[in-house]
Amino acid sequence: MAVVVGVVINALPSERIKEKGKNKYDLSIIGAGDVVVNRLIPALERMQRRLNVIIYDIDDSRIEKNRRDCINGNTFTYKIKDENFKKNALNSSIVWIATPSSTHLTYLEEFVNKNVFVAIEKPLTSLKSEYNALRKMLRSDG
């Protein structure tokens, strides 16, 4: 996991671009479940690079249970997915989709062709119909 995270994070520019009046995150993570809490965040903590990360989830109790605000110089912000979620995520360098596979396609449709790097945890989908829709979407986008 740490190698994959390192490859994705190293795709970021060397310095975060700050836009006036906007929150600019290095990484927006959608989902605060087991993979994020027990694998992704620990991998981020081991990296030399310091990141400004926002983590969204639909479950307030899971956010409160797993909240860790600043670890080894990394800044983690936790939020309930709300009306500002998409705008904030689009102001990130990377959107990491870490939700159940049944929701991956929906999130990907929101962010594809929006000038943001998208990482999706595996499996991308577990349904053949979603797989075919994903292939069609990616083919039509370039």
CATH fold of 22-140, please?
A: Rossmann fold (3.40.50)
Query: What percent of the chain clears pLDDT 70, i.e. is strictly above it?
Result: 75
Return d(Cα 125, Cα 104) in angstroms, integer.
7
DSSP string, 23-51: --EEEEEE--SHHIIIIIHHHHHHSSS--
- pLDDT(94) > 60: yes
Q: What is the pTM of this model?
A: 0.73
Return d(Cα 29, Cα 129) in angstroms, integer.
26
Return d(Cα 16, Cα 51) in angstroms, integer.
9
pLDDT tens, 16-43?
A: 444 444 547 888 999 888 888 888 888 8
Sequence letter at residue 21 = G
Residue 2 carries which DSSP code?
H
pLDDT bin (cut points 50, 70, 90) of residue 10 is low
* Residue spans per domain, the chain: 22-140
pLDDT tens, 58-81?
A: 887 777 776 665 556 667 777 778
CB 93 within 8 A of CB 12: yes
CB atoms within 10 A of CB 50: 14
Return d(Cα 31, Cα 98) in angstroms, integer.
5
